[in-house]
Amino acid sequence: MSRPRKAEDPIRWPVPCARCGQHHQTVARWPDGGVCGYCYQQAKRTRGTCACGHEGVLPGMVDDQPACRRCSGVRLNIDCVSCGAEDELHSRGRCWTCVLGNVVDDLLTDPATGSMANELVPLAAALKSMKRANSGMTWIRQKHVTAFLRNLAVAPTITHETFDQLPDSRTREYVRGLLTEYGVLPRRDELRRRYENWAAEAIERTTDPQNRELIRRYVRWHHQRRMNQMDEVTRGTFLRAKQQVTVAIELLNWLTDHGISLRDLTQAHLDVWQAGGPTTRRIAERFLKWAIKTKAAPAGLAIVPHRRGTSPKLAKSGQDEALNRVVHTHGLDARDRAAAILILVFGQQAENIARLTWDDVTVTDELVTVQLGTIDIALPDPLDKPWRELAANPGHNLTASHPNTNWVFRGTSPGRHIHPGHLTTRLGRIFSTRAARLGTLHELTKLAPVAIIAETLGYSPTTIERHATDSAAAYAQYVAAVSDSVLHAERGN
Ligand SMILES: [Zn+2]
Ligand SMILES: [Zn+2]
Ligand SMILES: [Zn+2]
């Protein structure tokens, strides 16, 4: 620990220090010359073995080598009056180690009895023997440390439970660690136990009783079982386990709020949930995998992985731009434009779009409607244009392989609808379908409660009727806004 040096002052101190050559006040005249305060301080702290074999402080300088007092002729008081050791002195002729020892004894002695509890003796020894007594003093002189050790000194017995009752702090865990290290306290896996306490409270935050039971099982059979297989639970494991359970509870409570059971969970629900919250929601992936494995949730669901540097959802401006391109660029295939609208405006999945048949589509002079899941969605002008074009020419040059087909999006294999992956690839030239879908869901969540949106997307027939009116209104508003912006852009062009 060297103090920052002040600037040199050659006018005030014309004679430079014999050791560092800088112009500072000379504090001692030693055989090798006048020494400045910095070099004096450093000399007291220089330890090693002198050429004569003496081990200890080497404050002198002989042939540019640190040397002991005897060899160098340097006169310096570095003899502790208490322990006799040769060392830098702290105060009243005592070295740092002796002063620290006194402080430790003082703090750990019960003032009522004037003696130290037997259990604390090894702790005192450990604290006194700190390698760097000056750092030890800095640590122990802190108010909270002093207070903690005083509390400990008067504790009736020293057990883990005694520690548990003292205020939770780093000091408490550090001292507990020392006592464990010295065999005063039995080894106890602190983080394992803290997780147990934490989880017991966290589980109670699950609102639905059935979900609460599920979280209890998740904690017990996933996290605690893993922790119990470890020699020692690390802080990382502890924090990750907390975070994973927290996010799982958030997801389950969200589902409860929207009348959705985990068994009925769909990808659309998950996407809406994920799109409506912070990126940490991806952490629910672990719970989801466990829930699927234990058959508590339907198979095949996934949380969108978070990729650094890429936004998982398309921003509103990007969506508008993509939609404008889709509606107004006539170079694009009508089939791609028709599918793109369902993704950009309605957040539909490519899988569901690929499976549409002409039975799901109604084209009249006034209106084009597409049945998505359980509801009909009206496509107002100009969103209907690609659908009208497609209805007028449904074969899109694949008629030969589809003589009797009813698929809207015909595949290259005879009689099959387009592969959803192929559709996604085609649309990928205009926008990322995944990002667009999440972006749309995000926009929709601003207009209507998220579960209503999920239901409107056609996934949850059990509760759809309850919200049918609300969702229809929300959609009307949303679709009107989208159509307006597209029409506006049309006029502007
Ligand atoms: Zn100097
Ligand atoms: Zn010597
Ligand atoms: Zn001493």
% of the chain with per-residue pLDDT over 90: 35
Query: Residue 81 — φ and ψ, nearest 5°?
Result: -70, -20
pLDDT band per the 50, 70, 90 thresholds, residue 70? very high
Query: CA–CA distance from 289 to each of 239, 285, 286 (Å)?
Result: 19, 6, 5
pLDDT band per the 50, 70, 90 thresholds, residue 476? low
Ligand nearest, relative to CA of residue 102: 3
CB atoms within 10 A of CB 444: 25
Q: How far is the CA of 7 from the centre of ligand 1 (A)?
A: 13
Q: How far is the CA of 82 from the centre of ligand 3 (A)?
A: 5
Ligand nearest, relative to CA of residue 26: 1
pLDDT number for residue 464: 32
What mean pLDDT is predicted for residues 111-119? 92
Q: What is the pLDDT of residues 183-211, one digit of tens each?
A: 788 777 778 888 999 999 999 999 999 99
Span of 107-111, 282-286, 371-375 with lowest mean pLDDT: 371-375
51, pLDDT greater than 90? yes
Ligand nearest, relative to CA of residue 98: 3
Q: Is 415 left (phi over 0), alpha (psi -120 to 50) or beta?
A: left
pLDDT number for residue 15: 93
pLDDT number for residue 66: 95
Instruction: Please give the helix or strand (H or E) that residue 115 lies within, else none.
Output: strand 115-116
Q: How far apart are CA 119 and CA 114, in angstroms?
A: 15
Q: How far is the CA of 102 from the centre of ligand 3 (A)?
A: 10
Average pLDDT, the chain: 81
Q: How far apart are CA 302 and CA 314, in angstroms?
A: 19
Ligand nearest, relative to CA of residue 88: 3
Ligand nearest, relative to CA of residue 80: 3
Tokens of 33: 């010359």
Ligand nearest, relative to CA of residue 49: 2
Beta strands in 364-456 (DSSP E): 368-372, 375-379
Residue with tokens 């450093």: 42
pLDDT number for residue 276: 75
Query: Residue 223 — φ and ψ, nearest 5°?
Result: -75, -55
Query: Residue 213 — φ and ψ, nearest 5°?
Result: -65, -40
Span of 84-93, 117-126, 389-398 with lowest mean pLDDT: 389-398
Q: What is the pLDDT of residues 255-269, one digit of tens each?
A: 998 888 999 888 878
Superfamily of 316-492 according to CATH: Intergrase catalytic core (1.10.443.10)
3-state secondary structure of 436: helix
pLDDT number for residue 403: 58
Q: How far is the CA of 51 from the centre of ligand 2 (A)?
A: 6
Q: How far is the CA of 45 from the centre of ligand 2 (A)?
A: 16
Handedness of CA 423, 429, 435, 440 (dihedral sign): negative
Q: Which of 125-134, 305-314, 369-378 has the highest mean pLDDT?
A: 125-134
What mean pLDDT is predicted for residues 353-360? 87
pLDDT number for residue 463: 35
pLDDT band per the 50, 70, 90 thresholds, residue 458? very low
247, pLDDT greater than 80? yes
Q: How far apart are CA 115 and CA 149, in angstroms?
A: 14
- Which residue from 95, 96, 31, 94 is spatially nearest to 67, judged by alpha carbons? 31
Q: How far is the CA of 92 from the centre of ligand 1 (A)?
A: 26
| Parallel, antiparallel or unpaired: strands 115-116 and 109-110 | antiparallel
